[in-house]
Amino acid sequence: MKTKLLCAFLSIAFFIDSYAQVEASSYMTDLDEPSAIVNQGNVLYVQGPKEIYRIDTALDNPQATVVYTAPTDYYMSNLAVDGNKLYVSEEHYDDELDAFYGGRILSIDLTVAAVEPVVIYTTTRYVSALAFKDGFIFFASETDPVGDDNFIVQLQRIDTSVADPLPSLFVDLLTQDNEVNDMHFDGNVLLMSVGGDSVVYSHDITSGSGSATAMLTGLSFNKGLFVSGNALFTAEGNSIRMRSLDNASTWTSIAKNTTFQDSNNGVPFNANFRDVVLIGDKLYMTLQNQGRVMMIQDANLSAKDFESLKGISIYNSRTELNITGLERNNMATIYSISGQELVSKQVSASANSFDISSFSTGVYLVKLDNGKVFKFVK
């Protein structure tokens, strides 16, 4: 069964050298094979084969709460978050019969407790990874294999605004016989990690269908990836590495695991990270076979360090708040002047507004995940 600024006056070399590889510490334990990990503001959503956990990192004593359990014979492969919705890919597999019956993509409303997921899309194929952008889900779809292998991986897209959506083909042959482990957007460019190829592929979705580019090669057991500003983080073996998206050649290792070990045929090795996210100055990473979420904290990792020099500003009417100057996706949260969180969503250059028609007259704050805070008056 398949499972799976800095300051403008500083040089890139100084940017890279300012980080030291830190031993990760255990943050959350006793999870069931945690693999993919995403965040909505300060909240982590961690996906195992059967369960999705919610962890509020803002709490002094955080707990892992199960928000979704896959039904019998269904196993999760990846997840993505947008605003108040989780999107999850699953396979339908009968362990007893060793039979694969296809895959599906679900949406889960995070604002409703114990809500039943909505099945958006079903397919006879295996879906290994997905990402969400501007109302569309992009996903890796594997053709039916001939024998044990001999399958190809295609990049497809569905429109979440229509019922029973039909997939559109974006990349006909992304790779062969190796699954896509994770996806993440850098603006309009979709980055796709394929550990079996030791490559991160890229495709500009504004170009329509075509071929993918091998953006990064020669990686080591790469699995999950995460984009924050112009920084790319990758989970590679027992290390987390980072590079500036503005500099294709310079990498640094910023986190490692040499504490917890897995084994292969009785031979121990340092357990490998499966995915990574950044919240403020903390990196959170999963160790699947250890059932752990790991963490490091480094003030140099604050997302604001990776923001571009282009100014970001806001303006509002009585009914709408707009954020301008965004070059990359950000999570934006509006608070009352007393600090109560009112609404949170992902914003981008093309989707950058909030409906504030229901807000009372008063003063509000809007905070971006790059650390910028703005005040506005309605």
Looking at residue 7, its pLDDT comes to 30
Boundary of a domain, candidates 305, 331, 352: 305
CA dist 187 and 190 (Å) reads 8
CA dihedral for 341, 343, 348, 349, sign (positive or negative):
negative
Boundary of a domain, candidates 273, 305, 337: 305
Looking at residue 147, its pLDDT comes to 64
CA dist 314 and 96 (Å) reads 56
342 is a domain residue: yes
93 is a domain residue: yes
The runs of H, that is alpha helices, within the chain are 12-17
1 is a domain residue: no
Strand order of the β-sheet with 126-133 is 126-133, 136-142, 152-159, 168-176
Return the CATH number at 293. 2.120.10.30
Q: How confident is the model at residue 370 (pLDDT cuts 50, 70, 90)?
A: low
What is the number of other CB atoms lying within 10 angstroms of the CB of residue 193? 25
Average pLDDT of the residues in 343-353 = 85
**Is pLDDT above 70 for 239?**
yes
- Domain co-membership, 260 together with 344: no
135 is a domain residue: yes
Closest CA to 30 of 1, 55, 80, 64: 64
- Domain co-membership, 62 together with 104: yes
The rounded mean pLDDT for the chain is: 87
What is the number of other CB atoms lying within 10 angstroms of the CB of residue 101? 14
Residue pair 137/120 in contact (Cβ under 8 Å)? The answer is: yes
Closest CA to 227 of 299, 139, 157, 331: 331
Select, from the ranges 183-197, 311-325, 336-350, the one with the highest average predicted confidence (pLDDT).
183-197
Element (H, E) at 131: strand 126-133
Query: In the numeric block, which tokens belong to residue 101?
Result: 């019956």
Looking at residue 285, its pLDDT comes to 98
- Domain co-membership, 173 together with 256: yes
**Is pLDDT above 60 for 346?**
yes
**Is pLDDT above 70 for 221?**
yes
- Domain co-membership, 78 together with 50: yes
Closest CA to 233 of 196, 270, 186: 186
The predicted-structure confidence for 2-52, as pLDDT tens digits, reads as follows: 433 323 222 233 333 445 679 999 999 999 999 999 998 899 999 999 999
- Domain co-membership, 273 together with 370: no
Strand order of the β-sheet with 25-28 is 25-28, 292-297, 282-287, 273-279
CA dihedral for 237, 242, 244, 250, sign (positive or negative):
negative
- Domain co-membership, 130 together with 163: yes
Domain carrying residue 210 = 17-305
- Domain co-membership, 152 together with 186: yes
Residue pair 353/322 in contact (Cβ under 8 Å)? The answer is: yes
**Is pLDDT above 80 for 327?**
no
- Domain co-membership, 360 together with 275: no
Domain count, the chain: 2
5 is a domain residue: no
Looking at residue 310, its pLDDT comes to 43
**Tokens 């990473």 — which residue?**
285
**Is pLDDT above 90 for 372?**
no
52 is a domain residue: yes
Nearest 5°: CA angle at 217, between 214 and 220? Answer: 135
194 is a domain residue: yes
Boundary of a domain, candidates 249, 283, 305: 305
Residues with Cβ within 8 Å of residue 62, at least 6 apart in sequence: 28, 55, 56
- Domain co-membership, 371 together with 260: no
- Domain co-membership, 252 together with 356: no
Closest CA to 120 of 164, 77, 89: 164
The predicted-structure confidence for 83-95, as pLDDT tens digits, reads as follows: 889 999 999 999 9
Closest CA to 312 of 258, 366, 361, 267: 366
Least confident of 7-16, 202-211, 360-369: 7-16
The predicted-structure confidence for 99-129, as pLDDT tens digits, reads as follows: 999 999 999 999 888 788 999 999 999 999 9
Looking at residue 161, its pLDDT comes to 93
The predicted-structure confidence for 60-78, as pLDDT tens digits, reads as follows: 999 999 999 999 999 999 9
The predicted-structure confidence for 268-296, as pLDDT tens digits, reads as follows: 999 999 999 999 889 999 999 999 999 99
Looking at residue 318, its pLDDT comes to 85
Element (H, E) at 153: strand 152-159
**Tokens 């160790």 — which residue?**
287
Looking at residue 166, its pLDDT comes to 97
- Domain co-membership, 288 together with 363: no
Looking at residue 249, its pLDDT comes to 60
The predicted-structure confidence for 120-176, as pLDDT tens digits, reads as follows: 999 999 999 999 998 999 999 999 877 667 899 999 999 999 999 999 999 999 999
6 is a domain residue: no
Return the CATH number at 361. 2.60.40.3080
- Domain co-membership, 240 together with 152: yes
